Amino acid sequence: MQRPPTTIMPLIASLLALLILGSAAQAQDPARHGGALLKEFCSSCHAIGKTGNSPMPGAPPFRELGRSFDFDQFPRLLQRGISSGHPAMPEFKFSDDDARAATAYLRSIQQ
Ligand code: HEC
């Protein structure tokens, strides 16, 4: 029988440790996790930071959403799937945790 490749064991162990640490960091800082999600899914059209214009003209910068949205309702909106009725905007659906995290981030950048 072949011996297990012991050299890759430490590598696997450290990868696992990174994964665990990574998800712990997410749990501790939902706003940061939310920011990363919005960056991935929304930043091609929306400005997601405290400054800057949206890449797509007509897509409201996220820091101004507080003017038209009640953030207490926002997680539910993200979970149900947000659709502005604008054909350019794809339909998104967030999990409960992700919706809460994204909303925490949005709250943190409002003007
Ligand atoms: C492909 C481009 C695109 C992407 C990607 C995109 N949006 Fe939009 N979004 C738009 C445009 C354009 C509008 C303006 C629509 C309008 O007012 O007619 C808009 C409007 C909105 C509005 C305001 C809707 C309203 O009724 O006033 C919200 C909230 C929003 N987007 C959230 C998001 C979120 C959250 C994401 C990522 C999960 C996202 N968008 C990704 C293009 C995009």
Between the CA of 84 and the centroid of ligand 1 the distance, in Å, is: 6
CA distance 40 to 80: 19
Tens-digit pLDDT profile for residues 31-53: 999 999 999 999 999 999 999 99
In a domain, 86, yes or no: yes
Give me the CATH number covering residue 90.
1.10.760.10
Tokens of 14: 């450290």
Provide the pLDDT for residue 26. 57
In a domain, 10, yes or no: no
In a domain, 63, yes or no: yes
Q: What is the pTM of this model?
A: 0.79
Residue pair 111/52 in contact by the 8 Å Cβ criterion? no
Between the CA of 110 and the centroid of ligand 1 the distance, in Å, is: 16
Pocket of ligand 1 (CB under 6 A): 38, 41-42, 44-46, 56, 58-60, 65, 68, 82, 84, 86, 88-90, 92
Tokens of 37: 């999600």
CA distance 20 to 15: 9
In a domain, 19, yes or no: no
Domain of 63, in residue numbers: 30-109
Q: How many CA atoms lie less than 13 Å away from 102 in the CB half-sphere? A: 26
In a domain, 7, yes or no: no
- Number of structural domains in the chain: 1
